[in-house]
């Protein structure tokens, strides 16, 4: 089982979600793989934003090892579930999807908590540190629910 988080720059929201979920899964001892990527190349190869790094560090999570990368069509084959942060990412993936199998893998991350509501995770990039803390607090319970469901369904098996 492989999970991908997608945002715009892959330096704020999706690396945070990746770090939070990986931390939860490692504590549960599962072998589910987690990655993140984005759509804009402005920060390609860069580590996460300082503000994302510091909020994660405050909660005991080190996301400094991540390097921003772009979504590629191969990600549809490589990943089983693809969680987006907002409607722009969802729209892009729906345009890129080659078939129903691709489309079915994609969902808004907050739909795990609020099914069908398509609530966005706000972009903190132009905001202050408090906005990153808010994003963390939005992502954390969503990742908890994802971890719970994955653990229930895929525990101990890489399938
Ligand atoms: P992210 O935030 O999508 O959560 O990583 C952003 C980071 C960079 C930009 C936009 C959003 N940018 O335009 O450079």
pLDDT of residue 54: 98
Residue 72 to residue 144: CA distance in whole angstroms: 27
The pLDDT of residue 156? 55
Cα distances (Å, whole numbers) of residue 94 to 17, 30, 48: 21, 30, 26
For range 127-136, the mean pLDDT: 98
Summarize pLDDT for 39-80 with one digit per residue, the tens: 999 999 999 999 999 999 999 999 999 999 999 999 999 999
| Confidence tier at 151 by pLDDT (50, 70, 90) | confident
Ligand 1 pocket test, pick from 92, 120, 125, 128 with the greatest ligand atom count within 8 Å of Cβ, gives 125
Q: What is the DSSP letter of 31?
A: -
pTM for this one?
0.96
Q: Rounded distance, CA 4 to CA 16, Å?
A: 12
pLDDT class for 159, splitting at 50, 70, 90? very low
80 Cβ inside 6 Å of ligand 1: no
The CB of 46 under 6 Å from ligand 1? The reply is no
Question: Is the CB of residue 140 less than 8 Å from the CB of residue 20?
Answer: yes
Rounded CA-CA distance 40/157 in Å is 33
Task: Say how many residues make up the chain.
Answer: 159
């Amino acid at each position: 089982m492989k999970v991908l988080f997608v945002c715009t720059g892959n330096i704020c929201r999706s690396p945070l979600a990746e770090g939070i979920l990986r931390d939860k899964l490692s504590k549960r001892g599962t072998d589910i793989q987690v990655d993140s990527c984005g759509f804009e190349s402005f920060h390609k190869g860069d580590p996460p934003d300082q503000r994302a790094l510091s909020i994660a560090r405050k909660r005991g999570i080190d996301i400094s090892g991540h390097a921003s990368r772009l979504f590629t069509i191969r990600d549809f084959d490589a990943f089983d579930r693809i969680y987006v942060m907002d409607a722009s990412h969802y729209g892009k993936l729906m345009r890129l999807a080659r078939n129903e199998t691709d489309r079915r893998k994609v969902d808004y991350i907050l739909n795990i908590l609020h099914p069908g509501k398509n609530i966005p995770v706000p972009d903190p990039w132009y905001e202050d540190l408090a906005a990153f803390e808010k994003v963390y607090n939005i992502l954390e319970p969503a990742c908890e629910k994802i971890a719970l469901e994955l653990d229930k369904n895929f525990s101990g098996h890489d399938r």
